A and B are shown apart, each in its own frame.
Chain A
């Protein structure tokens, strides 16, 4: 039995698609552009258009639509919470009165708008991790932030930390699993009692985990040094990123779509 096998991180899904083969920098830059576009959407028709684009992007990336939708699961609670707050705390024309709470027409509209907006934001952003290998992602970030290096920004260090963190997540999950099993064998229980009790039962898991992490970090640092690591300076890459015309075109198309949708909504819809 494994306790933690349902956790998925950096859920890259390999596929042979035009989106997968784009330069990671193009995809990273496209994310804020798309997010801005979604934030500007307000009308039902605009949301419908964005939902249509989402489906089109999933098809173009050769990813099953269900899998894309699944990536929003972890934030559903947040979406529901945001929607509820807007339902109950927006002033306007009352449509329903339940004791001291009043639900207004504006409240329902705002809840739907914010809920959809958040959902679309997460779904579009998830394409970045779904279609980009973790190493490419950190490479892309390193290259994008490299102009800031002259101002002392640790672009390489951050990218390396991200790579190592991703590399060690499965290892640490296995380790946590092992510690939990060892403690279960000695009578610990992690799934009984109040939430507080269960949290407290987790402290004896965290302490050995921290010790192990620090030991591993020390050994990994030695191994990296032995392999001639001395930071980003003078380092080359086996597969250097190449920005092609396709990337420029994809980014330009993204900007054009966002501008067109926003302009269309402003001018055509009341």
Chain B
């Protein structure tokens, strides 16, 4: 991660209260956060921690009750900026079923660029590139209801990519997928990150953040922790307090590291752990 990287999105002391919320409790209170260009940022938190609310600010779906959200220098508060903000930051939601508009795969991927008012040839080439990146080019003429859950979510990613936004916000994109679909989607996200996209990845699964550059933990609408992935994974007690459970591999990595002082990888990926532990036999 470059330290001099440009800021993509910036939340300045954002507080958000849902207008229909009977409790009047703030879903976000005093949140300040910067998303830097080209980084893969993990946004963690248990249910109700405010992570989805935060994500929706980045795309101007929600406007802060107090404070400001600046995307590429544009305040989301100004209605004149909303279109440009949404063209710069695209979103993928949790339920793939509820974000597909088209009846045919490529028609759905074209929905975003069509709304952007692009010429037909440009839409066609963007849709092709996006479907290629999402591994769906072979299915471009298939009706959307014939896709599996994982394929539908990849189509949602393709729809977001076709808008050619430099920043992609994914709100628990793997929550409704099977392990295979999850692995496929994470592989696509890694490829996009390598290709220079800025990615904000919202999740509560620690095994999904291993390749992220930076992690932010939300709890009760406040930022509780911000830093690298490795130090976060070492916070055993705090993780539990935030409702984030370490997967077995991460627990093993932490315990072994603390107890034995073995030379373990910096980040407990499966491959890294196998490389470190197998020679010990």
Contact = CB atoms under 8 A, between A and B. Distances in A.
Contact of A227 (B86, B95, B103): B86
A167 B114 contact: no
Secondary structure of the A side of the interface? helix
Contact of B97 (A135, A216, A230, A236): A216
Nearest to B110: A238
- Counting chain A CB atoms within 10 Å of each CB, the highest count among B61, B110, B111, B156 belongs to B111
A230 B111 CA distance: 12
Nearest to B111: A227
Interface residues of A, number: 28
B101 A219 contact: no
Contact of A238 (B59, B95, B98, B124): B124
Given A228-B112, A235-B114, A238-B124, A166 B98 contact: no
A164 B101 contact: yes
A167 B61 contact: no
Secondary structure of the B side of the interface? helix
A225 B90 CA distance: 10
B93 A219 contact: yes
Contacts of B106: 238
A167 B144 contact: yes
A239 interface: yes
A226 B59 contact: yes
B127 interface: yes
B163 A238 contact: no
B126 to A, nearest CB: 9
18 contacts: A135-B102, A135-B104, A167-B144, A170-B145, A216-B97, A219-B99, A220-B99, A220-B101, A223-B91, A227-B86, A227-B111, A227-B160, A228-B87, A228-B163, A234-B115, A236-B118, A236-B123, A238-B127
